[in-house]
Chain A
Amino acid sequence: MGTSSGAPINEAVSLLSLLDPPSLEALRHEFPTIADELRVGRIGGGSDDAAMPSLERARAEVAIRALRAATSRALVELAKVQGRMRTARRRRLWAQVLTLACSSGVLASLAASEARLAIASSVLTLLASIGNLLADTGEKLLRPGQGDIYAAFEQASNASYRATSLADDIRLALRHQASGSELQALVTKANVLAEELNAWITQIAGS
C-alpha cells in the first residue's frame, strides 16, 4: 500500500542483475535506504516517502551503473554481431562466386558433353546453396518475427548511444545538485531504456 511517487528502477536493477551482479550487490550495501528496490522484481506497494530527494539520488546512481553496464555489454555484443555480419557477408560472397562458377561449369559441360564436369557443377551448386543457407541463418535472430541481426545491430547501436548519453546526463544532474523532480524524470527515462536494453540483450544473447 502507499503511493508510487518515486522514480521506478525495477528494470535498471533487473539489467544489473543480468549484466553485473557484483555491482548490484555493492549498491545494496551502499544504499540500504532503497534495499527493497534493489531486489529484482517489483514491490507490491509503494512508500509515502518514495520521492525524497536523497532516495532519488540513490536511484540515480543505480540508473547510471545499469546504463554503464549495458553500454559495456552492448559493445561486446555489437562486436559479436559485427563478426556475425562479416561471416554472413563472406559466406554469401563465396556462395555467389560458386554460383557463378557453376553457371560457367554447366555451359562448359554442355559444350564438352563431359559427365564429370556436370557432376562438379552440381556439387558447386550444392555448396553455393549451403553457403546461402548458412548466411541466412547467421543473419536471423532466434525468435521469429523480431527482425534480423542488421536491425538488431542498428537498435543496439542506437540504445547504446542513448545509454551513454543518458548516463552522462544523470551524472551531470547529480553533480549540479538538480532538483528531485529533474532527477526523477531522468531516472524514469533510464528505467524505460533499461527495459529496452533488457529485451535487446535477451534477443541478442539468445540468438
Chain B
Amino acid sequence: MVRRFYKLIVAAAFALQAICAQVAYAADVCRTSHFEGMLAHKNRALSILSKDTTQDVSEAKVYVEYRDGVLYYQSNFVSQGGDQFGRPFEPTKIKGSPTGNAVFADARIMFANIVYPEPPSPQERAVANKALASSVQFHLDISVFDESGRPRVDLTGVKNVRIVDGSQSRAIDVQPEALTTAKPPPSLIAKLRGCCLYGRPPHASATLLTALANERLQPSDVKFASLFIDSATEAAVSRSQQVRSARLAGDARSVTDLATFSKLMASAKGSTLVLVGHVEGSQYVIRDSGNRERFRIEIAEVRKLARANGVRLIDVGCETTRAITSAALGFGVMTKYNSVDAVHSINRALVQSRNLQDFLVHMTSDGLKVVVEPSFLVQVGEKQASIYSRMRVTARDLWAKVATVTVSNP
C-alpha cells in the first residue's frame, strides 16, 4: 500500500516537474515547459518565434503579450545549466503584473532574467544589453499597447522591435520607431506616409491612414494663426498667398493676455486652426525681439479652449510630446522646427490638399515630423497637434531579480 502510494507520488511529481506550478511555487520565471494554465500563451508565442532554440544571446528572440493584467515573456533562449534533476533547461518564460511590480515592464531587466538564472555580473549584464541594442528581436503582441497606444513595456535600449498579432499568428508589416514622451515609457510609432508623418500605435497605421483620408478638408475652412513675433515669419506669411488668406486677425503681437487669446480662438470657431508657436516647458510662450515675455499659456489650456470653440486644432509647437503629460497625445510633431519653414509647408499643404491625410503629408518635412494617434480622429473638435522628439536612449543601470528559477520538486 505504502509502496503504491509512493509510486503515485513519484508519478505525480514527474508530471508536475514538466510545468511551472504557479500556485505551489509562485514562480515568475519558468525554465521548464510552461507556466501552469498558460499553455495557450506558450502556443501563441511559438507561432511567432518558431520552435528553434538558441544559447547564443545575440540570436535570442522574445515574444511579449499582455492579458488579464499580466505581462508574459517567452524567449527562444535556453539558459546554461539545468534543473535539480539534471535535465537541461527549456526556453525561458516570465510572467508578472507590471502594476504589482514595475520591473515586469522593463525589457532590459526581463531580458537579463531570461538569459541568466542568477543575478548577472556587470560583464554579463553588459553582454545582454549589448545584444539588446544590436540583434535581439523583441516581438510585441498588439495586446501590449494600452488604449492610448503606448506600450506597457519600457523598451529603452532595445533596437530590434517587431509588432505581431499573436492570436492571429502573424507579424504586422510595420517598422516601429521609438519616441520619447513626457509620460514614460517611450512610445512606439510607425511611418504612415511620406517622409515624416507617423502614427501611434504602430499597428494602427493602416486604420489611421484611411481615417485621415476620409476627413475632408476645404482650404477655405482652414485658418492660420502665429504666436511668433518675428520679421522673417511675417515676411514669409506675406509671401505665402494661402496662409495670408487663412490668417486670423489678432494673432502674434496682438495676443497679450488670456482674453485676447480666447478672442483669437473664438474667431476660428467651427474651422480647422493651424496654430504655430514657441514652446517652453509645457507652455506656449510669445516673446518679442528683446526676449521679453508677452504671453504664456499651457498647451493643455490651448487645446481646451479649442474644444470649447469647436475648433479642430493643429497646434504646432516644438517637441510637445515631451511636454504633454497626459497619456493621450492626439496629434503632434516630433522635431524642433523653424517658423519660416513651417509657414512655407503649411502654404504648400493648403494648395495641394483636399483631405486631412494629404494636408499632413504635405505639411510635414524632415524639420517638422508629425505623429497622430486615434484620439486625434475620434474626439470631434479635438484634433490636436504637438511636437515630438525622437527617442533618446538613456542608460539605466539597474538589476532587479524577478524571482528564482522554479521547477517542481519530485
Give me the interface of A with B, judged by CB distance under 8 Å.
Answer: 1-4, 7-8, 10-11, 13-14, 17, 36, 39-47, 188-189, 191-192, 194-195, 198-199
Contact = CB atoms under 8 A, between A and B. Distances in A.
Contacts of A198: 231
Contacts of A36: 336, 338
B180 to A, nearest CB: 11
Contacts of B291: 4, 7-8, 188, 191
Contacts of B285: 4
Interface string B229-244: 0111101100000000
Interface footprint category on B:
35 or more
Contact of A10 (B277, B289, B323): B289
Nearest to A5: B291
B288 to A, nearest CB: 8
Contact of A42 (B281, B323, B338): B338
Interface of B: 228, 230-233, 235-236, 276-281, 285, 287-291, 316-320, 322-323, 336-343, 387, 389
B236 A41 contact: yes
A44 to B, nearest CB: 3
Interface centre among A8, A11, A43, A45 (most CB of B within 10 A): A45
Given A4-B285, A7-B291, A195-B289, A17 B337 contact: no
Contacts of B336: 1, 36, 43-45, 47
B224 to A, nearest CB: 15
9 contacts: A1-B323, A2-B281, A8-B287, A8-B289, A8-B291, A10-B232, A44-B279, A44-B342, A188-B291
A119 B15 CA distance: 130
Nearest to A8: B291
Contact of B320 (A1, A41, A191, A192): A1
Nearest to A7: B291
B318 A195 contact: no
B126 to A, nearest CB: 30
A1 B322 contact: yes
